[in-house]
């Protein structure tokens, strides 16, 4: 018998022979270039969503360190409407590196829109640029503008159910997007008492950031009225949020802290930390343990920790004893899904 290689047409045909049930087990994924008036270059954005048809399959976010997540690239969206979640990555992260979160929320029935924030992404994480919270928040608003006006996705969106989710610096970003104002003098005073123990203060100090000269926009309260709920996971810089702006943030807010009863000082929103959870009118709080700040990140490959040690990089693959990173991720998804009624 003679074996002949499959033609391109045959391969495409095989890619499409997938049952509807299989398509529902893997989300769709696509990319956008976002034009934003406050940026000199287009922003890279991604969108995850319930897939109605299967296209070719790829793994998003796979790297030497992290496991990735499967997706159907450019698949047709399943009939909606769906809530939207705008997602902000942390300092040094990127939108695809947390594909585990986006893909699973899409499977829960949401459209997840994420961006790469210039100046604070993987390989491009500058302390001096990372303090530009207003620009980061504006990135999310510009991406949301694009998605709502897109002919392929806009008709499938429930405009009354748009939420924001952010981790670490992304948590600060979604709080900013929800109306938080950050007081420079307050944060400067706080960091003077926590010069080496607070990760956020230390990060800025390593970049030579003068805390007395943080951007004027830190103290401005902005709010995207389309955002109806906020989810901040181990958010940074909450010690600087003004009481007045916190009290005015009346949208439902979910805080998730990793590492109870002692989360990172920089991310602790309980009375042991910034106590931001008690300064806002409509807050749900949940702590997850055992875990640490980095447990939020994608599941690491077997040699991930050793690779990071060789590179003298942060121990982002090292969890506390008895931590199951997959189980922590399950709990995060369950908390978000319940809060947003997905």
pLDDT value at residue 195:
65
8 Å CB contact between 36 and 13: no
Angle, vertex CA 342, rays to CA 74 and CA 146, nearest 5? 40
How far is 71 from 190, CA to CA, in rounded Å? 43
Handedness of CA 265, 176, 167, 282 (dihedral sign): positive
pLDDT value at residue 12:
41
pLDDT value at residue 18:
46
Number of H helices, E strands in the chain: 11, 12
Residue in this structure with the two tokens 């938080």, named with its chain if needed: 180
How far is 222 from 181, CA to CA, in rounded Å? 8
pLDDT value at residue 200:
85
pLDDT value at residue 340:
98
Beta-carbon contacts of 6 under 8 Å, excluding residues fewer than 6 positions away, are 14
- Token representation of residue 34: 């976002």
With b for 16 or more beta-carbon neighbours within 10 A and e for fewer, the 61-74 pattern comes to: bbeebbbbbebbee
Encode 190-219 in three state secondary structure. Answer: HHHHCCCCCHHHHHHHHCCCCHHHCCHHHH
Query: 3-class DSSP state for residue 182?
Result: strand
How far is 73 from 99, CA to CA, in rounded Å? 13
Beta-carbon contacts of 8 under 8 Å, excluding residues fewer than 6 positions away, are none
Cis peptide before 261 (omega within 30 of 0): yes
How far is 288 from 291, CA to CA, in rounded Å? 7
Residue from 324, 241, 309, 298 nearest 61 by CA: 298
Domain residue ranges in the chain: 16-243+328-340
How far is 87 from 48, CA to CA, in rounded Å? 11
How far is 288 from 66, CA to CA, in rounded Å? 21
Report strand pairing: 57-60 vs 69-73: antiparallel
The dihedral formed by the CA atoms of 238, 243, 248 and 251, expressed in degrees to the nearest 10: 30
Query: 3-class DSSP state for residue 250?
Result: coil
How far is 246 from 221, CA to CA, in rounded Å? 10
- Token representation of residue 167: 């981790």
pTM score of the predicted model: 0.91
How far is 232 from 227, CA to CA, in rounded Å? 13
Fold of 16-243+328-340: Rossmann fold (3.40.50)
Compute CA 83 distance to the chain's CA centroid, rounded to the nearest angstrom: 16
Mean pLDDT by 10 residues, the chain (342 residues): 40 43 81 90 95 95 94 95 97 92 98 91 80 92 96 97 97 96 92 81 89 88 94 96 96 94 88 96 97 95 86 86 96 98 96
């Amino acid at each position: 018998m003679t074996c002949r290689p499959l033609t391109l047409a045959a391969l495409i045909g095989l890619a499409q022979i997938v049952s509807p049930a299989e398509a529902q087990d893997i989300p769709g994924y696509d990319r956008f270039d976002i034009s934003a008036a406050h940026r000199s270059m287009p922003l890279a954005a991604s969108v995850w969503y319930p897939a109605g048809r299967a296209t070719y399959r790829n793994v998003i976010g796979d790297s030497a360190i992290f496991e990735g997540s499967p997706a159907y690239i450019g698949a047709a969206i399943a009939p909606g409407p769906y809530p939207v979640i705008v997602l902000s990555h942390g300092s040094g992260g990127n939108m695809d590196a947390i594909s585990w979160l986006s893909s699973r929320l899409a499977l829960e029935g949401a459209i997840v829109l994420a961006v790469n924030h210039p100046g604070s992404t993987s390989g491009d994480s500058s302390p001096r640029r990372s303090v530009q919270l207003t620009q980061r928040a504006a990135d999310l608003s510009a991406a949301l503008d694009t998605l709502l006006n897109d002919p392929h996705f806009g008709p499938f969106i429930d405009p009354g159910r748009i939420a924001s989710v952010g981790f670490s610096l992304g948590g600060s970003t979604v709080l900013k997007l929800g109306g938080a104002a950050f007081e420079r003098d307050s944060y400067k005073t706080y960091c003077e008492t926590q010069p080496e123990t607070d990760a956020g203060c230390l990060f800025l100090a390593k970049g030579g950031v003068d805390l007395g000269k943080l951007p004027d926009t830190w103290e401005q309260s902005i709010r995207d009225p389309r955002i109806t709920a906020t989810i901040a996971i181990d958010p940074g810089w909450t010690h600087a949020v003004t009481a007045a702006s916190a009290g005015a943030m009346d949208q439902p807010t979910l805080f998730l802290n990793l590492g109870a009863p002692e989360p990172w000082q920089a991310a602790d929103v309980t009375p042991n930390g910034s106590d931001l959870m008690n300064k806002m009118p409509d807050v749900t709080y949940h702590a997850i343990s055992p875990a640490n700040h980095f447990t939020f990140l994608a599941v690491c490959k077997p040699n991930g920790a050793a690779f990071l040690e060789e590179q003298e990089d942060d121990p982002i693959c090292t969890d506390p004893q008895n931590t199951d990173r997959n189980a922590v991720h399950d709990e995060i998804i369950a908390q978000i899904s319940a809060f947003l009624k997905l």
